Structure 1
């Protein structure tokens, strides 16, 4: 059997497998009263110098591997060997009284604070759950209320303004938009379906194009060509409608953690305001002071007529700092809480059917 410790798990948090107290966890027990006979033989997977390694430790190690290696797994014999070698290291460290070293005690204190922080976070979410009413209110204010307008349009794309003007002239004489699109448009896809772009929202099109569509009345086409980076467009607005928001259930899983973080953030801010906090270190770096260069020694051999006191005075003035040293700007208080990063606001619009023009002329299509 390969006795090598699994490389993925040797360092860092991998050494803290199984948080519950047990006889095999002698590192945690050494600083307090000895814990004996917590793990029974029938509940153990191995014994090292009389110390049992529990089945729970093995389960925790399997979960640790799955989280770290994205679902990868190792044979059970290697996992058990990993736990045995960890226990050997722990026992040797205790024999050397490394658990009393300043380095160990400092890291232990940091680990305690980290675990307490996570425990507080979980406890807050458990005791302050997001209600269905809160989710519904957020849905109404952030999703439904911000729903925009969808447009249905056709376009004809050509290379020059003159070509676009000729097409508009044909339309003015009663020409059929779809037939003219099939005949003239250089947008390969839309030239085969009468220039139909389907339904879209404004931000799916380049700005000049979407602005032109929004200004048109239903059933009207542009009286002047519209230029974009792709060429010149003649646009027909066929219809418009209020955008349909996604159903509540479709976005509930996004809204719930977002609201949880909002609640936690408010709690942290309240605690911060009520706490007496004193910051004892500078939070900005002072710029090093620039000293004026020393004046050059007087040139004793230089003739008096060639000396230029006025110029030297100007040079000295130039060399001096232009402005007085400024005090560093007062920094905003450091954020003391371990609050998770603010979640992005859930998208207000459902995914749209893509009706992109062909790659040969991607101009008006959806971004």
Structure 2
């Protein structure tokens, strides 16, 4: 009994001397280090899931399963397969590339001044008019003409849109398309919209989608989104440009034969 205890103590001291790390589990004598589990948990919690004993149990189960399968693959000599070697090399390369890009982004964040400068550059595109319109979309001109006649007789636009429009998304809302720039629609629709007066109906308008009866509810000066509303999108776009420039510069400097 004393001899066994001495052996255990000796092994523990040896492990400590070699800097061995704590293991979440051991599979066929191979330790799965705790930091591997911590890495998995970090990835999951960064996506919004809460750290918990249940989560860590699932991570441990997954790590153990992967280790069992990896050991079996090694037994079969799959690491020596040419395609497997290539895939492992590519996977290693992708991890390094991702780490390099993340390192660059942390060291070279987009400044608030750059974001505001970009916003000032694009906000000139927010000028013009926005139109709040409804439409009823049908498959043929005769149906469109019949609907127009019914509308002129006093039937409610909303009711006909809900009943007959083949654009079900807007139809269920009485044909409402919300506020939009005419250029965001197909040309035939957008041009007809710009010609309408507030509260008026269009003649049937043919587009690639079918025949439209359009009603213009309101018009306003376009104001566009605020800086805070577009800031996240600008952040992604400008950061992407910086990364692309960084990559391009590295490729240019490389000696490629």
Length-normalised TM-score, structure 2: 0.56
Give the whole-Å Cα distance in 2 for the aligned partners of 1:156 and 1:77.
56
Query: Structure 1 pair 185/108, CA: closer, same or farther in 2 (3 Å)?
Result: closer
Distance in 2, Cα, partners of 1:253 & 1:112 = 31
- Is 2:205 the counterpart of 1:227? yes
Structure 2: distance between partners of 1:91 and 1:83: 12
Partners in 2 of 1:102 and 1:186 — Cα distance? 66
Q: Do the aligned partners of 1:129 and 1:260 also contact (CA within 8 Å) in 2?
A: yes
Aligned to 1:277: 256
In structure 1, the residue matched to 2:194 is: 214
1:69-95, Cα deviation, whole Å (9 max, x unpaired): x999555773574477479669979xx
2:225 paired with 1:246: yes
Which residue does 2:170 correspond to in 1? none
Q: What is the aligned residue count? A: 217
Work out which of the two has the higher radius of gyration on C-alpha atoms and give 1 or 2: 1
Q: Is the 8 A contact 1:48 1:84 kept in 2?
A: yes
Query: Residues 136, 156 of structure 1: CA spacing in aligned structure 2 closer, same or farther, 3 A cutoff?
Result: same
Query: Larger % of helix: which?
Result: 2
Q: 1:83 to 1:38 in 2, by over 3 A?
A: farther
Residues 199 and 218 in structure 2, CA contact (< 8 A), matched pair in contact too? no
**2:125 pairs with 1:146:** yes
In the alignment, structure 1 residue 115 sits paired with structure 2 residue 87: no
Selected match of 2:18 from 11, 21, 37: 37
Q: Deviations along 1:181-231, whole A, 9 cap, x unmatched? A: 62486961499xx99876443256554343123134x55958x84533655
Task: Judge conservation of contact 1:190–1:196 (CA < 8 Å) in 2.
Answer: no
CA distance, structure 2, for counterparts of residue 195 and residue 52 of structure 1: 63
Which structure shows the higher strand fraction? 2
Structure 2 runs not aligned, ≥5 long: 1-15, 164-173
Once superposed, what is the RMSD of the aligned Cα atoms? 5.2
- Cα deviation for residue 125 of structure 1 reads 0.6
